[in-house]
Every structure is written in C-alpha cells, then in structure tokens.
Structure 1
Amino acid sequence: MLGAGLALALCALQLCPAALGGSRSPVLVERSRSRRVIELVEFAWENCGDETDPVVVKSLTVAPDPITIPGTLTLSGTVSCGETISSPLKAVLTVEKQLGSVWIQLPCIDQLGSCTYDDVCTLLDDAIPPGTSCPEPLLTYGIPCHCPFQEGSYSLPESNIELPEVELPSWLTNGNYRVQAVISSDGNQLACMKVTFSLQS
C-alpha cells in the first residue's frame, strides 16, 4: 500500500503519474504551452483521519526544500495498511489557496483542483499498464503499484525520483496552498492526508 500511500502525497500535488514514472497526465497540459520552473517550498504533511482508518502514513520524508520541478526528489516513507484494499477506491481532493487571511477552495477545472476521482485503481492502471513492471524505486523494494493492496506495512528507503518538466494552468499562481486527500471504498473512509506548500514559479 506504500505505492498508493506515497502516491497520495504526490497526487495531492497532482504531479503523478509522471512522478511515479508513468506517462504525463493530461491534467498538466497548459493551453498556452508556456513552460515554467516550479518550486514547492516548505512542503509539510499530516494524517487527517481517525484511529479507525485502515491506511495510515507513518512517516514521509521529502527533500530538498524547495522541491524543484523538473529536478530530483528524495523520498522515503512507511505506510501501514490494516486490511486488503481493492477497487473501487474513491479519492476526493480539496485544494485551497490562501488569499490574505482567508482560504479559498479552488474548483475542479480540467481534472485539476478540488476534484473527485471515482477509482484511483483505474488511474494507476492508466499510468502504469497492468502487466508491466512497477517503476523504480517501487520495483526494487517490492512495493505494489496496482490494486489490490494487501494488508501489511510497506517501507521505502531513501530513494531518488526524477520529476519531469510539467506544465501548469496559468490560474495556478504563486502562493500558499493546502490540499486534503480522502480515500474511501464503498462509503467507508480508508485514509486521509493533508499537505501544505508554497508554490513559486
């Protein structure tokens, strides 16, 4: 489940599947085709579920600060999965930007922003076609990248991941952001994670 757990953090930033080694996601297409060097500053995370959630991110270390895209991300983490998790896995992302002292929820535009994804398992299959090997470093450490995810604890030692150049919408401007990702199945919450960061480009 670490593949999905760490993907929570990356997908909360909506930088995967590219960050996982899959094809570039269409949600990252900038219509003006202008490219920017992106920096994520002061990245922080926390679990936002309760003790009954079967999936908990126990640790997650992300470096450097700032995270530069394109660039090299150094990642390590541990995820505990208290039960076997299978399709469908619904993901609800809430993306907010700080305007002065107020946090404003951003809408879902072209599958970017505060969006609901009906099945993360399908997204993983689209990014990494079934029958192909999981990308590194998941393959080396035996971490699954497809549903179902078996009960257990999964750990990724410190590993380097190359983040490709991406294109972001012009409305995703510099500022402070917070993102909440809630994963559920059949109406039951499985995991909740929040990340905060400042975007500079």
Structure 2
Amino acid sequence: MQALALLPLALCALQLCPAVLGGALQQQQQQQQPMVLLEKAWPRWATQVENFSWENCGPSSNPAGIKSLSIGPDPVVIPGNIRISASLYTSVALTAPLKVVVVLEKRLGEMWLKVPCVDQLGSCTYEDICALLDSVIPPGQPCPEPLLSYGLPCHCPFKAGTYNLPQSDIYIPKIDLPAFLTNGDYKIQAVIFMGDQEIACVRLCFSLSAGLQWFW
C-alpha cells in the first residue's frame, strides 16, 4: 500500500503487497505480448472479492489515516484489473522501523474467529515493514506503476503530507490462497507503530469466494 506512502504500507500490512506490486510489473510485461482472442467461452479458476468497505479504527489523535479509498469493480475478479483511488494523510514523517500488527478474522455464524498466522499470512506481526518493502522492490529500482507516474515513493522514510492517488487500474495476477482462506466474510485490521507510538489503524471488510468461472 507518503501519506500516499501509506498506500503501499497498507497493502503490505494487508498482505497484498507482493501480489499488487508484482502484478503491476507483470502487467507492464503483458502489455508487450500479442493479444490472443478466444473463439468460445472457457472456464478459469478465479477469486472474487466483493462487499468491500473500510474505516479508520484508531483514535482521532492518530497522525495518519485514510481520507478516502475506492476499489472496484464490485466484485473484483482475480486475476484481473482492479480500479483504485485513494487519499491518505500523515502529519509526521514515517521512518524505519515501522511495525505492523495485522488481525484477520472470519465470520462463523454470528461469531468472528481470529485466523492464526501461518507462513506470514493471517493474524501476523511484521516488525519492519520498511525492510519488507525493500525486499519486494530493491532500493534503486523504480517504483511500479501507478506510483511511478505520480511521483510517489515506495520506500521508507516517507515525508509528512497529504497525497492523492487518482483513479488507476492495477493488474492483480493469480494468487494461490492458503487453504485456511476459504469462501466467506472477512475483516482485517492493520495497526502501524513507529516505536511505541500508534501511527494509524485501518480496518477492511470483504467477502471472498473462489472457484471455476466462465469467461468470454
């Protein structure tokens, strides 16, 4: 997921960073390939994400958060393009190390059950999200689109400010979801800390379904 630096941070905190950033690079490569037209419908394994909503979940004293965030279409089909626009802010500079505590819950009837951390997915704590960003995009390598076009950084430190990401299309490649992420309703909360100070808290809710779908 700048104050728009918070976008790559938020995406990483939500465990989508490798897919989103890698997908943007993959999209650039695919644009150079010839288009293949299919003459009839064909089945493809796809994941749908729908009923997306978000909120800032921390106290009003938190120095960073999201002003607006729009993700479409509804449902989002993966693999495929997502359309995203965002406005984010931070009143303080964000410097390494930034710790992110993620809590992922799945609805079971009227209850919400915490999904454990397995292979760095689920309810996990990431002690240094800045190092994770560096591992996904090595320092010195250009930031992927659409960050590059809008002059948005993708490495720590991030300056204080308010940043806007205009509506942009990002390609998300096929994601092999772990077995514990089955069809259902989920909510995920990410809290960012710099030292002992809570910087931001973001909560997302969504529904997930996967299976064979027909494409024309």
Q: Tell me the TM-score normalized by structure 2.
A: 0.84
1:130 aligned residue: 139
- Distance between the aligned counterparts of 1:171 and 1:97, measured in 2? 10
Using the alignment, how far apart are the partners of 1:17 and 1:7 within structure 2?
10
User: What's the offset of the Cα at 1:7?
Assistant: 2.8
1:10 aligns with 2:11: yes
Does residue 109 in structure 1 map to residue 110 in structure 2? Answer: no
Is 1:74 the equivalent of 2:83?
yes
2:198 corresponds to 1:189: yes
Residues 2, 126 of structure 1: alpha-carbon distance in 2 compared, 3 angstrom cutoff: same
Q: Displacement of 1:21 after TM fit? A: 3.2
Deviation at 1:87, TM superposition (A): 0.2
Kept in 1: contact 2:72–2:83 (CA 8 A): yes
CA distance in 2, matches of 1:121, 1:111: 16
Cα distance, 1:171 vs structure 2:
1.8
Match of 2:73 among 64, 70, 79: 64
* Aligned AA (2:80): G
Distance (whole Å) between structure 1 residues aligned to residue 62 and residue 131 of structure 2:
22
Letter in 2 for 1:147: C
TM-score normalised by structure 1 residue count? 0.90
1:84 maps to: 93
CA contact (8 A) 1:2 1:144 kept: no
Q: 1:82 to 1:52 in 2, by over 3 A?
A: same
1:121 to 130, 143, 154: 130
Aligned length in residues = 191
Q: Per-residue deviation at 1:15?
A: 2.0
Name the residue aligned to 2:33: none
Aligned to 2:62: 53
Give the C-alpha shift of residue 81 in structure 1.
1.1
| Cα offset, 1:56, TM superposition | 1.4
Report the identity percentage.
52
Q: CA offset at residue 20 of structure 1?
A: 2.0
Q: Which amino acid aligns with 1:163?
A: I
Contact 1:73–1:160 (CA<8 Å) still a contact in 2? yes
* 8 A contact 1:82–1:152 mirrored in 2: yes
Deviation at 1:49, TM superposition (A): 1.2
CA distance in 1, matches of 2:153, 2:119: 28
Q: Which residue of 2 aligns with 1:147?
A: 156
Residues 3 and 145 in structure 1, CA contact (< 8 A), matched pair in contact too: no
The answer to whether the 8 Å contact 2:78/2:173 transfers is yes
Structure 2 stretches of 5 or more lacking a match? 27-43, 211-216
Q: 1:13: Cα distance to partner?
A: 4.1
Q: How much is the aligned-residue C-alpha RMSD, in angstroms?
A: 1.7
User: Is residue 164 of structure 1 aligned with residue 165 of structure 2?
Assistant: no
* 2:189 paired residue among 180, 188, 198: 180
The 1-side partners of 2:87 and 2:48 are apart by: 25
Amino acid of the residue matched to residue 115 of structure 1? C
Partner amino acid, structure 2, of 1:15: L
